[in-house]
Amino acid sequence: MQIHLKYFLPFVIWIFGIQKHIQPTSGSEPCPDGWHFYGQDNICLHLVDKAAKFDVARSICQDDFKAWLLYINGADKENFINTKIISDKYKFYWLGLKDVIGDDKPESHRWLAQNKTLTENSYTNWANDKQPNIRSHECAIICFQQKPKWLEEKCYLNNKYICEKAANPSATSSVTKTSFERQNYKNVKDLIHLHVNANLMSIKLARIMIEIIFIIWL
């Protein structure tokens, strides 16, 4: 198997073009510094390592970061936070969830930023698989001691919190495109290496054949 120059050179030029194109560019990050990109929901998450009351934490997320308190819609997101963001497993963190009626019914607990009740959200993760049932505990926290679990909490207590907001849409599409280009780049590069190795093998075999013929001839 041989590689003709007229076929090989365009591949080389294309590879160098892709390699140059997929280098990181300034301003292309989906999240600001200090935020974590969660690609499954295309959001950015930021840990505020300072305890505050629920209303204060919510206001800081909204006013300082143009964001909202943590919203949980599945176990994957909890696990991402547990492994990528949280370092202190023995602290509690506010959820953006509140009993807006005060009657402890699941339909009265609402994710404030998303305007969804617990029954509309479908995912819950209360400790001991219990629904909220403690009057005067109108807010909720999440704990990561062993595995993520939700607990009821009095809103006037101080807890740390996580803000979240939508990721930069142009950057997230760029991330997806870049990942695709990197895979294509790797596939083509591997293909070229395969052809080059095959060509080198052909040259070695040709040399061996020449040596054998030369020995026989002598």
Q: 66 with 107, same domain?
A: yes
Query: What is the count of structural domains for the chain?
Result: 2
Structural domain span for residue 135? 36-167
Within this chain, do residues 213 and 146 fall inside the same structural domain, yes or no?
no
- Residues 102 and 57 grouped into a single domain: yes
Last residue of a domain, one of 152, 167, 182: 167
163 and 174: one domain?
no
If you compute the radius of gyration of the chain from its CA atoms, what whole number of angstroms results?
Answer: 28
Whether residues 140 and 177 fall in one domain: no
Task: Identify whether residues 100 and 194 lie together within a single domain.
Answer: no
**Residue 104 lies inside a defined structural domain of this protein:** yes
Q: What is the pLDDT of residue 1?
A: 47
How high is the pLDDT of residue 160?
97
Q: Mean pLDDT of residues grouped by 10 in the chain (218 residues)?
A: 49 49 60 97 97 98 98 97 93 95 83 91 83 72 93 95 95 56 55 57 73 69
157 shares a domain with 114: yes
Q: Token digits for 57?
A: 């934490």
Same domain, 58 and 134: yes
On whether both 45 and 152 belong to a single domain, the answer is yes
Note whether residue 17 is domain-resident. yes
